[in-house]
């Protein structure tokens, strides 16, 4: 709670003590990290709970500390507040401009091998004191993680995103059909999606790619005959390379060769019209991105501004 003058009744030191307890799991370990006595650290936690009028953790002798749901929510914001407090101190001391600390990036699986390597290599080379942790998952799970504050930003397709999210476009890609090299239609420059209506499909079964592919087939006037489903982008291409079906993908590697060294044919679709899909870096509108997070977003935009 805040006083009448709008100043919170808790302190940064209390927040730091709480974060230490949450991260170490015990009062003893947190006290050692903070260079405090256990009683002093325990008092800080109690005072913070009193100031917030909420129980943040359950302390059990010999079983460590467990955060309550409120404690989990407070932990996410406490980390952000402490990060910004440290940045203010660095700026005042004339140390502004340094990009230091962690950023957690979520990434849609098919964008992992095609977008992340150059970003992480270039960013950490430019900012060696920054660290990047990445988590690959489908868009539904990434949405839950970013709304829960578990990740700072995510790199995803602009398909089904909440309109409230803040996004910046990195690039746009037009979906293409991938066929086995010896497929009868592989010699064509382009094709209609309906030409494949009776043939087995390998579906990249990871939202939103799965729903996007099914929607395109629906627009073409047919329901695809899905023979295989996979959540792995390279598995889908490998199955196509072996002649097990065709697939529809947004991303395209530099070489049209599968992991086994088999060539595939990538074809433009003339009907229905395939609108380019935006690949974006996105973050929650209520988050307060740290300096390192802001630097990562800026670097990503500069990297792909000419792509």
- pLDDT at position 164, please? 83
- pLDDT at position 100, please? 81
- 8-state DSSP, 275: P
- pLDDT at position 235, please? 95
Identify the segments of the chain with pLDDT beneath 50: 94
Query: Distance (Å, rounded) from C-alpha 220 to C-alpha 81?
Result: 50
- pLDDT at position 5, please? 63
Sign of CA dihedral 210, 216, 219, 220: negative
Query: Distance (Å, rounded) from C-alpha 88 to C-alpha 79?
Result: 14
The two tokens of residue 304 are 């792909």
pLDDT tens across 93-145, in order?
A: 545 557 888 899 999 988 988 899 999 999 999 999 899 999 999 888 898 88
The pTM of this model reads 0.72
- pLDDT at position 1, please? 54
- pLDDT at position 91, please? 62
- Containing H/E element for 133? strand 130-136
- 8-state DSSP, 54: S
Residue at token pair 């390379």: 241
- pLDDT at position 254, please? 85
Residue 301, C-beta contacts closer than 8 angstroms, at least 6 positions apart = 168, 170, 281
pLDDT tens across 38-65, in order?
A: 999 999 999 999 999 999 999 887 678 9
User: What value does the CA radius of gyration of the chain take, rounded to a whole number of Å?
Assistant: 25
Give the CB-side neighbour count of residue 258, counting CA atoms within 13 A.
21
């Amino acid at each position: 709670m805040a006083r009448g003058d709008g100043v919170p009744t808790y302190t940064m030191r209390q927040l730091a003590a709480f974060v230490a307890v949450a991260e170490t799991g015990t009062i003893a370990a947190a006290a050692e990290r903070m260079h405090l006595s256990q009683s002093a650290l325990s008092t800080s936690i109690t005072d913070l709970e009193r100031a917030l009028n909420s129980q943040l953790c359950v302390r059990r002798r010999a079983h460590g500390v467990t955060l309550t749901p409120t404690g989990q929510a407070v932990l996410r914001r406490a980390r952000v507040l402490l990060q910004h407090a440290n940045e203010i101190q660095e700026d005042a001391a004339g140390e502004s401009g340094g990009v230091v600390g962690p950023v957690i990036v979520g990434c849609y699986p098919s964008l992992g091998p095609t977008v992340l390597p150059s970003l992480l290599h270039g960013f950490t080379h430019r900012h060696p004191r920054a660290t990047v942790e990445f988590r690959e998952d489908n868009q539904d799970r990434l949405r839950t993680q970013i709304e829960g504050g578990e990740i700072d930003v995510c790199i995803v397709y602009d398909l089904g995103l909440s309109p409230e999210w803040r996004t910046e476009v990195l690039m746009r890609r037009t979906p293409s059909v991938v066929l086995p090299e010896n497929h009868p239609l592989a010699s064509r420059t382009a094709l209609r999606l309906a030409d494949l209506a009776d043939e087995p499909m390998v579906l990249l079964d990871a939202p939103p790619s799965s729903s996007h592919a099914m929607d395109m087939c629906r627009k073409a006037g047919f329901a695809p005959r899905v023979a295989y489903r996979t959540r792995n982008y390279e598995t889908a291409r490998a199955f196509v390379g072996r002649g097990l079906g065709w697939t529809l993908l947004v991303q395209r590697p530099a070489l049209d060769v599968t992991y086994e060294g088999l060539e595939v044919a990538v074809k433009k679709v003339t009907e229905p019209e395939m609108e380019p899909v935006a690949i974006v870096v996105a973050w929650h509108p209520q988050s307060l991105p740290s300096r390192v997070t802001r630097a990562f977003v800026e670097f990503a935009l500069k990297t792909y501004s000419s792509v």
